[in-house]
């Protein structure tokens, strides 16, 4: 009688879950694919413009081959034989990080996050097998990475790179994504909450980058323990080797098997690592709105500050070689605010400006915590105590404003330390720390706009603030090379900030920006005191 | 004595939705006041207005002798609030949340804190993300009850608690009452309301439909009568306030509006009562009548 009854196993329901996950992610995944495609598109067109002759490429090989910092930041010099390889050399590490993050968030979202939030329980109570959610999440990761491969191939081939190498590049990128998807599936069994999963996998992504960097600078051995290294060492366009892809393939299979084995050995909702009990009473520090805001944001502030310190150090380590590099590749000077003259200072100005734009992103995300607290309902009990709205808003803003300054100081310290080491001048550390702070008023101005949004247009505030960050970045990075009209640039606070250390710092524009900041903050506060909380 | 909470004609709209539509509420000092109404009737919105989180569109609102919007901070020193849907910060422990809320309110009683943790059987060392719904609710309850506040605003404070914890909660509120403190208790648990509340207000579609002591409210509703008489039962259905009569010669069952009970009993006694069972309305029936759709007061749409 039941001969036609559906087969019931530990993966029952995978198909339905997969369709449901695709629906949940239908607006999210395209953005990741777009980002991946854009990164490659910009690099491919730019590289082919700058190094358009074999002589350019040969000169580049000579300059870069001997520069450990560039190799550490990018990849193995074997790639520099062809223009396609040069593109891979420059962009693969970044592509790798984007695709790895996409895969990590995708699998984490549909496994541990769902379990933590209790959504998975509802699903598992239906006729859904124990392995179905993780199987469906991995299938979705497979589809997403297939799409990555197609986008990478289409972008590379579409910008004129050879088709064969483009296929290999696409597959290598997707293989890397799959490896991190499978690793996330393992981490989702080990950790009890999504934060732990993302922390561990994020650390693994960072380690892959560092191991690859150390390997490429040294004898190459360490690169073979890094998934990013495996992808680069297929040498697309140069050697076109397919066999290194056996590594991500094998490791992915092993990790999936490990995830399944671990899943069978744990209870639903639990991880293999139990979270430890915390304090039974609050320390003195957690006794004020500011103490709470600091407690909630200290982790992310530490993350941003250390990340930007490392970025600054990476930029700084190249400072000393930039003169030689620009002399060999005069086209590059077009990207520097000062052109070929005063190359080092103008390079430092450009890189600190770029770091300041990233600091702006920190400022906005920190400010938007206010909105997150409000819409989640966590602000309500705090505002029901003797905490005024002004004090509550000011506590989070203090973290955002002072945090922005700390992040900039970290940038200056990292860049000053690394650059100072290469030119044997400890004085670069205080100098570049001071230089970085020249960009603080502009960072604060963007925070001020976000606060104004919070006060008067709370629902649109996040969108508005991120559009402002995007606008400032476009103006700062592309205004000169793309000849954007002057009126379009003039609204950006960064356009009015002296490009220190290349330009002389004058205080007048900084004071004016500061005055605007005060007005914006006051305006936002007035709006916030007048409106309903939580809507 | 001035009311602790005094709300008259309160209106609050969100876009086109009229969440509160002329709500009235009086809470006297020292009483436990039940605040009842179906889901979405405006109880939480009212409490948010009282907390100064929402600005009233019309009407007057006074609490503890002040204005909840403009005197928010001063008033908050004197009250404690327990939300019905408690969300906590994932990485902070229950004990830390209790201390934080106490300090933000201006101090908490350490001895009472320890005693409440014991009575509610709550582990303060667990991170908030690992608490169940009931345990999150306990964190908010301990934080609120450990305060010395003279007014407690409780918005469905026992949702998710087990019966044992429910009884601990009721004991705690009885103690609060003995100390002369005032409580506004929004709840769906009728047994809890019956056990704790001196007076109740029932709201529906953003308006107060009934307010008073439980016995006053009972008075406004119907009593069920089942009677056997010596003579055939006649003339009962013609009396005012009599409903749903089922006649069977010398026995009858019917409902009667409680204010007309006396006249009905007089009439019955002339027929020679052999047996009579009178059932007062249960709270459940009372609320179902007020919550139900046939009660249309305030049902007209306000555009």
Per-residue pLDDT of chain A (535 residues; tens, 9 = 90+): 444 545 568 888 899 999 999 999 998 899 999 999 998 998 999 888 888 888 888 888 877 776 777 788 788 988 888 999 999 998 999 899 999 999 999 999 999 988 887 788 888 888 888 899 999 999 999 999 999 999 999 999 999 999 999 999 999 999 999 999 999 999 999 988 888 899 899 989 988 988 898 888 888 888 999 999 999 999 999 889 999 999 999 999 999 999 999 998 888 877 777 777 888 888 888 989 999 999 999 988 998 999 899 889 988 888 877 777 777 777 777 767 666 667 888 889 989 999 999 999 999 999 999 999 999 899 999 999 999 999 999 999 999 999 999 999 999 999 999 999 988 999 999 999 999 999 999 999 999 999 999 999 999 999 999 999 989 988 887 766 667 778 888 889 998 898 888 888 889 999 999 999 999 999 999 999 999 998 7
Between chain A and chain B, how many beta carbons pairs sit less than 8 Å apart?
115
- Name every residue in A having a CB less than 8 A away from some CB of B: 116, 192-193, 195, 275, 277-282, 286-289, 291-292, 295-296, 376-378, 380-389, 530-535
Q: Which residues of A touch B76 (CB under 8 A)?
A: 384-387
Nearest residue in B to A375, CA atom: B87
What residue segments make up the domains of chain B, in order of their start?
5-217, 222-280
Mean pLDDT of chain B: 88
Whether the CB of B114 is below 8 Å from some CB of chain A: the reply is: no
What local confidence, expressed as pLDDT, does residue A301 receive? 93
The residue assigned the tokens 């002399």 is A327
The nearest CA of chain A is from the CA of B174 a distance in Å of 23
Residue partners of A316: CB distance under 8 A and separation at least 6: A348, A351, A414, A415, A416, A417, A418, A419, A420, A422, A428, A432
Contact at CB, A278 and B127, closer than 8 angstroms: yes
ipTM reported for the complex surpasses 0.90: no
Q: Which member of A192, A295, A385 has the closest CB to residue B104?
A: A385
Residue partners of A365: CB distance under 8 A and separation at least 6: A300
Torsion of CA A59, A61, A64, A68, to 10 degrees: -150
Residue partners of A13: CB distance under 8 A and separation at least 6: A123, A126, A127, A128, A129, A132, A136
What local confidence, expressed as pLDDT, does residue A288 receive? 93
3-state secondary structure at position B211: strand
Cα A501 from Cα A344, distance rounded (Å): 10
Each residue of A406-458: pLDDT tens digit? 999 999 999 999 999 988 999 999 999 999 999 999 999 999 999 999 999 99
- Mutation pick from B104, B141, B149 vs chain A, by most beta carbons of A within 10 Å, is B104
Residue B262 is encoded by which pair of tokens?
Answer: 């006396």
What local confidence, expressed as pLDDT, does residue A247 receive? 96
Q: What is the torsional sign of CA A180, A183, A188, A190?
A: negative
| DSSP one-letter code for A341 | T
What local confidence, expressed as pLDDT, does residue B301 receive? 37
Contact at CB, A280 and B77, closer than 8 angstroms: no
Each residue of A63-91: pLDDT tens digit? 777 677 778 878 898 888 899 999 999 89
Nearest residue in A to B123, CA atom: A280
What local confidence, expressed as pLDDT, does residue A81 receive? 87
Cα A448 from Cα A367, distance rounded (Å): 9
| DSSP one-letter code for B55 | -
Q: DSSP per residue over A345-395, as a string? A: HHHHHHHHHHHHHHHHHHHHHHHTHHHHHHHHTSHHHHHTTT--HHHHHHH
The residue assigned the tokens 């449901």 is A20
Each residue of B201-212: pLDDT tens digit? 999 899 998 899
Cα B44 from Cα B186, distance rounded (Å): 8
Whether the CB of B100 is below 8 Å from some CB of chain A: the reply is: yes
Q: Which parts of chain B have pLDDT scores under 50?
A: 294-303
Contact at CB, B130 and A275, closer than 8 angstroms: yes
Residue partners of A455: CB distance under 8 A and separation at least 6: A523, A524, A525, A526, A527, A528, A530, A531
Architecture of the domain defined by B5-217: 3-Layer(aba) Sandwich (3.40)
Each residue of B103-143: pLDDT tens digit? 998 878 899 999 999 999 999 999 888 888 899 999 999 99
What local confidence, expressed as pLDDT, does residue B293 receive? 53
What local confidence, expressed as pLDDT, does residue B45 receive? 95
Architecture of the domain defined by B222-280: 2-Layer Sandwich (3.30)
What local confidence, expressed as pLDDT, does residue B298 receive? 41
Residue partners of A420: CB distance under 8 A and separation at least 6: A316, A426, A427, A428, A429
Nearest residue in A to B147, CA atom: A385
Residues 256-285, chain B, touching A (beta carbon < 8 A): none
Residue B88 is encoded by which pair of tokens?
Answer: 């906590």
Contact at CB, B129 and A116, closer than 8 angstroms: yes
Query: Please, is A42 exposed, middle or buried when counting C-beta atoms within 10 Å of its C-beta (0-12, 13-18, 19+)?
Result: middle
Cα A320 from Cα B131, distance rounded (Å): 54
Cα B95 from Cα B142, distance rounded (Å): 10
Whether the CB of B53 is below 8 Å from some CB of chain A: the reply is: yes
Estimate the crossing angle of helix B94-105 against helix B133-145, to 10 degrees: 30
What residue segments make up the domains of chain A, in order of their start?
9-264, 294-530
Full 3-state SS string of A396-437? HHHHHHHHHHHHHHHHHHHHHHHHHHHHCCCCHHHHHHHHHH
3-state secondary structure at position B227: strand
Torsion of CA B237, B241, B243, B247, to 10 degrees: -30
Cα A360 from Cα A434, distance rounded (Å): 17
Contact at CB, B104 and A275, closer than 8 angstroms: no
Q: Which residues of B touch A378 (CB under 8 A)?
A: 87-89
- The backbone torsions φ and ψ at residue A392, rounded to the nearest 5 degrees and listed phi first, read -65, -50
B159: left (phi over 0), alpha (psi -120 to 50) or beta: beta
Give yes or no for a contact between A475 and A391, defined as CB atoms under 8 angstroms apart: no
Cα B255 from Cα B167, distance rounded (Å): 34
| DSSP one-letter code for B198 | S
Give yes or no for a contact between A130 and A104, defined as CB atoms under 8 angstroms apart: no
Is there a shared CATH topology between the B5-217 domain and the B222-280 domain?
A: no
């Amino acid at each position: 009688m039941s001969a036609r009854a559906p087969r019931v196993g530990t993966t029952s329901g995978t198909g339905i879950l997969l369709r449901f996950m695709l629906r949940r992610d239908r607006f999210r995944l395209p953005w990741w694919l777009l980002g991946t495609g854009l990164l490659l598109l910009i690099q491919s067109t730019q590289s082919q413009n700058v190094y358009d002759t074999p002589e350019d490429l040969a000169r580049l090989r000579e300059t870069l081959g001997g520069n450990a910092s560039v190799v550490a930041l990018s990849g193995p010099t074997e790639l520099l034989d062809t223009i396609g390889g040069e593109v891979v050399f420059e962009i693969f590490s970044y592509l790798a990080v984007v695709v790895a993050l996409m895969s990590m968030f995708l699998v984490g979202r549909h496994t541990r996050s769902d379990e933590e939030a209790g959504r998975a329980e509802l699903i598992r109570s239906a006729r859904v097998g124990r392995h179905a959610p993780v199987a469906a999440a991995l299938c979705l990761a497979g589809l997403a990475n297939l799409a990555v491969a197609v986008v990478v191939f289409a972008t590379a081939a579409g910008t004129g790179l050879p088709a064969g190498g483009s296929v290999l590049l696409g597959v290598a990128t997707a293989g890397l994504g799959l490896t991190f998807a499978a690793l996330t599936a393992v981490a989702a069994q080990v950790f009890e909450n999504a934060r732990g999963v993302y922390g561990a996998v994020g650390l693994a992504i960072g380690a892959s980058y560092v191991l690859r960097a150390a390997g490429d600078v040294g004898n190459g051995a360490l690169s073979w323990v890094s998934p990013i290294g495996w992808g680069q060492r297929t040498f697309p366009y140069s050697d076109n080797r397919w066999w290194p892809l056996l590594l991500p393939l094998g490791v992915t299979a092993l990790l999936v098997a490990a995830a399944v084995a671990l899943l069978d050995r744990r209870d639903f909702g639990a991880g293999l690592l139990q979270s430890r009990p915390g304090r039974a009473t609050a320390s003195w520090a957690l006794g004020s709105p500011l103490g709470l805001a600091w407690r909630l944001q200290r982790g992310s502030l530490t993350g941003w500050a250390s990340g930007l310190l490392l970025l600054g150090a990476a930029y700084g380590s190249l400072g000393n070689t930039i003169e030689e590099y620009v002399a060999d590749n005069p086209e590059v000077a077009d990207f520097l605010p000062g052109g070929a003259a005063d190359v080092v200072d103008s390079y430092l100005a450009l890189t600190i400006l770029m770091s300041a734009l990233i600091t702006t992103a920190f400022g906005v995300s920190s400010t938007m915590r206010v909105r997150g607290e409000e819409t989640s309902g966590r602000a309500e009990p705090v505002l029901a105590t003797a905490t005024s709205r002004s004090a509550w808003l000011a506590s989070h803003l203090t973290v955002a404003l002072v945090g922005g300054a700390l992040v900039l100081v970290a940038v200056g310290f990292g860049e000053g330390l690394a650059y100072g080491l290469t030119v044997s001048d400890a004085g670069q550390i205080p100098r570049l720390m001071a230089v970085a702070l020249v960009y603080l008023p502009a960072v604060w101005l963007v925070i001020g706009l976000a606060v104004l949004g919070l006060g008067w247009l709370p629902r649109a505030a996040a969108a508005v603030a991120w559009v402002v960050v995007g606008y400032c970045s476009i103006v700062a990075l592309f205004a000169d090379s793309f000849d954007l009209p002057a009126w379009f640039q003039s609204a950006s606070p960064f356009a009015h900030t002296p490009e220190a250390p290349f330009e002389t710092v004058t205080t007048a524009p900084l004071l004016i920006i500061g005055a605007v900041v005060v007005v914006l903050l006051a305006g936002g506060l007035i709006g916030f005191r007048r409106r309903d909380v939580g809507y | 004595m001035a009311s602790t909470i005094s709300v008259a004609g309160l209106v609050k709209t969100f876009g086109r939705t009229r969440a509160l539509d002329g709500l009235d509420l009086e809470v006297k000092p020292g009483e436990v006041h039940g605040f009842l109404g179906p889901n979405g009737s405006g109880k939480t919105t009212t409490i948010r207005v009282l907390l100064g989180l929402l600005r009233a569109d019309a009407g007057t609102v006074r609490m503890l002798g002040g204005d909840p919007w403009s005197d928010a901070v001063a008033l908050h020193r004197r009250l404690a609030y327990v939300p019905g849907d408690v969300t906590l910060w994932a990485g902070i422990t229950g004990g830390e949340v209790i201390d934080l809320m106490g300090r933000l309110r201006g101090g908490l009683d350490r001895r009472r804190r320890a005693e409440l943790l014991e009575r509610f059987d709550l582990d303060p060392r667990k991170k908030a993300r690992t608490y169940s719904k009931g345990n999150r609710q306990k964190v908010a309850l301990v934080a609120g009850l450990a305060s010395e506040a003279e007014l407690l605003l409780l918005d469905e404070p026992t949702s998710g608690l087990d019966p044992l914890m429910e009884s601990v909660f009721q004991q705690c509120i009885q103690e609060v009452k003995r100390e002369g403190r005032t409580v506004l208790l929004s709840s769906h648990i009728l047994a809890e309301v019956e056990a704790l509340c001196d007076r109740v207000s029932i709201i529906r579609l953003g308006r107060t439909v009934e307010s008073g002591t439980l016995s006053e409210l009972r008075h406004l509703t119907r009593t069920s009568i089942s009677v056997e008489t010596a003579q055939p039962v006649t003339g009962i259905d013609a009396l005012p306030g009599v409903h749903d009569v089922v006649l069977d010669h010398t026995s009858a069952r019917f409902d009667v509006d409680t204010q007309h009970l006396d006249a009905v009993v007089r009439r019955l006694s002339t027929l020679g009562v052999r047996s009579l069972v009178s059932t007062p309305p249960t709270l459940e029936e009372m609320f179902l009548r007020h919550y139900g759709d046939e009660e249309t007061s305030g049902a007209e749409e306000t555009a």
